[in-house]
Chain A
Amino acid sequence: MSFVNFGKREINFKIVYYGPPLGGKTTNLEHLHSVIPDESRGPMTMLSTRQDRTLFFDFLPLQSNAIKGFVSRVQLYTVPGQTIYNQTRRLVLNSVDGVVFVADSQWDQMENNVESFSNLEENLKSYGLALNDVSYVLQFNKRDLPNIAPVHYIDFMLNQRETKAPGFEAVAVDGGGVHDTLNMVSKMVMAKFIEDHSMPVNEDYDDSRLAIQEA
Chain B
Amino acid sequence: MLGYAIDEQQCDLFSLALTDLSVQAEANAVMLMDTGGNILASICKADDGVLSTVAALAAASFAATRELSTLLGESGFNAIHHQGDDSSIFIQNAADEFLMIVVFDKNTTAGLVRLYVGKAIQELEPELLRVAGQGYQLTDRPNAVFEFNESSDLFGRRVTPNRLPDARAAAG
A: residues with CB less than 8 A from B are 1-8, 11-12, 14, 30-48, 50, 52, 56-57, 59, 61-68, 70, 72-75, 77, 87-88, 91-92, 94-95, 97, 129, 133-134, 175, 179, 182-183, 186-187, 190-191, 193-194, 196-202, 205, 207, 209-212, 215
* 20 CB < 8 A contacts A-B: A1-B2, A1-B36, A7-B9, A8-B11, A11-B146, A35-B162, A43-B53, A45-B53, A45-B57, A59-B57, A61-B48, A61-B52, A66-B149, A70-B146, A95-B36, A186-B154, A186-B155, A191-B148, A194-B148, A215-B149
Known contacts A45-B53, A201-B142; is-contact A36 B157 (Cβ 8 Å): yes
> Which of B60-68, B83-91, B113-121 lies at the binding interface?
B60-68
Contact A34 B161 (CB under 8 A): yes
Q: Which residues of B contact A193 (CB under 8 A)?
A: 146
Which residue of B49, B145, B153 is within 8 Å of A212 (Cβ)?
B145
Q: Which residues of B contact A179 (CB under 8 A)?
A: 153, 157
Contact B149 A65 (CB under 8 A): yes
Contact A75 B1 (CB under 8 A): no
- Interface residue ranges of B116-156 to A (CB < 8 Å): 136, 138-139, 141-149, 151-156
Q: In the bound complex, what is the Cα–Cα distance between A62 and B11 (angstroms)? A: 22
Total interface residues on B, CB under 8 Å, equals 61
Q: Which residues of A contact B92 (CB under 8 A)?
A: none
B: residues with CB less than 8 A from A are 1-12, 15, 34-40, 47-50, 52-53, 56-57, 60, 63-64, 67, 136, 138-139, 141-149, 151-158, 161-164, 166-167, 170-172
Closest to B52 in A: A61
Contact B56 A59 (CB under 8 A): yes
Cβ of A41 to closest chain B Cβ, rounded Å = 7
Q: In the bound complex, what is the Cα–Cα distance between A57 and B57 (angstroms)? A: 10
Contact A5 B5 (CB under 8 A): yes
Q: Which residues of B contact A30 (CB under 8 A)?
A: 164, 167
Contact B50 A66 (CB under 8 A): no
Cβ of A109 to closest chain B Cβ, rounded Å = 24
Known contacts A61-B56, A179-B153; is-contact A7 B8 (Cβ 8 Å): yes
Cβ of B82 to closest chain A Cβ, rounded Å = 15
Q: Which residues of A contact B52 (CB under 8 A)?
A: 42, 61, 73, 75
Which residue of A68, A88, A211 is within 8 Å of B147 (Cβ)?
A68
Cβ of B143 to closest chain A Cβ, rounded Å = 5
Q: Which residues of A contact B162 (CB under 8 A)?
A: 33-35, 38
Cβ of B97 to closest chain A Cβ, rounded Å = 10
Q: Which residues of A contact B164 (CB under 8 A)?
A: 30, 33-34, 44
Known contacts A36-B156, A44-B167, A45-B57; is-contact A202 B142 (Cβ 8 Å): yes
Contact B49 A42 (CB under 8 A): yes
